[in-house]
Amino acid sequence: MKTAVLVFPGSNCDRDIAVALEQVTGTAPAMVWHAETALPDGIGLVAVPGGFSYGDYLRAGAIAARSPVMRAVVEAAGRGLPVLGVCNGFQVLTEAGLLPGALMRNAALSFVCRDAPLTVENADSAFTRLYEQGEQVAFPVAHHDGNYFADDTTLDRLEGEGRIAFRYATPINGSARDIAGILNDRGNVLGMMPHPERRIEAAHGGTDGRRLFEGLIETVGA
């Protein structure tokens, strides 16, 4: 499967996710600079990486979400192309309107950098199909703005439609209903604060993250 990784000024997990994608797919992803106006042909996934795009100026992810390449991503997501946003990538996807809600400063105001135990809330999505419903996994988190906010109507809809993909097993940042990752209504866009790409090989301390990418390959087809 061919994949693409977006690169913004200030992205810093673009190489981590590129390594993960290359390991799992066998093909190095195309690295796509934010100023591009089109995505490469024939890709099965766009990854929006973590980092501090544009120094988190204005709001985390706000400027990146208005960059030329994001217009192509919004259009491709509308056609059903899988899009994965991790950490700053999740913030970018909410700012771009591909996912509901917003990510605010952590409730305790402190940067959180540690392993986060998570519960898989939806094991039926293209991204989570190789996990068990209710399974506990642990991915690293490293963020200052991971406090998920949405109004109660939106939260109830996310719950009712099975669009909460991952929940923190214990609260870490004040997120509404302990939300760690959500899907769009069609299920082809996943945004999450924890980093599955940092749990790919034994040397990372675990391989829980690998199945997310493997499941996606199964869905999209190699």
Partner 1 sequence: MKLKVYVTLKPGVLDPQGRAIHHALGSLGFAGVEDVRVGRLIELTVADDTDDAAVEAMCRQLLANTVIENFRIERA
Which residues are catalytic, by number? 87, 195, 197
* Site membership for partner 1, residue 59 (CB under 8 A): yes
Output the smallest distance, CB 59 to partner 1, in A: 6
43-48 vs 30-33, strand pairing mode: unpaired
**177 CA to centre of own chain:** 18
Is 106 one of the binding residues for partner 1 (CB under 8 A)?
yes
Contact of 137 with 120, CB cutoff 8 Å = yes
Helix (H) or strand (E) run with residue 81 in it? none
SS3 of 82, please? coil
Q: Which of 105, 129, 157, 177 binds partner 1 (CB under 8 A)?
A: 105
Q: Rounded CA gap, 42 and 94, in Å?
A: 25
> Is 157 an interacting residue with respect to partner 1 (CB under 8 A)?
no
Residue at token pair 């989570």: 128
Q: Using the rule CB under 8 A, give the single segment among 1-9, 14-22, 25-33, 96-104 that binds partner 1.
A: 96-104
Question: What part of residues 129-148 is at the interface with partner 1 (CB under 8 A)?
Answer: 147
State both tokens at 92: 């970018």
For 188, residues 6+ apart whose C-beta sits below 8 A from its C-beta are: 77, 80, 81, 82, 83, 126
Instruction: By CB under 8 A, name the one of 35, 107, 186, 205 that touches partner 1.
Output: 107
Answer for which of 20, 70, 104, 189 binds partner 1 (CB under 8 A) is 104
Nearer to partner 1, 35 or 58 (CB): 58
Interface with partner 1 in residues 61-90 (CB under 8 A): 62, 66
| Interaction of residue 101 with partner 1, rule CB under 8 A | yes
Q: How far is the CB of 106 from partner 1 (least distance, A)?
A: 7
Chain centroid, CA 46 distance in Å:
10
Tell me how far CA of residue 155 lies from CA of 29, 95, 175, in angstroms. 34, 17, 11
Interface with partner 1 includes 178 (CB under 8 A)? no
Please select the residue that binds partner 1; options are 42, 109, 170, 202, rule is CB under 8 A.
Answer: 109
Enter the tokens of residue 136: 């506990």
Closer residue to partner 1 in complex, CB, 119/184? 184
Nearer to partner 1, 19 or 62 (CB): 62
Is beta strand 43-48 parallel, antiparallel or unpaired with respect to 2-7? parallel
* Contacts with partner 1, residue ranges (CB under 8 A): 58-59, 62, 66, 94-95, 100-102, 104-109, 147, 149-150, 174
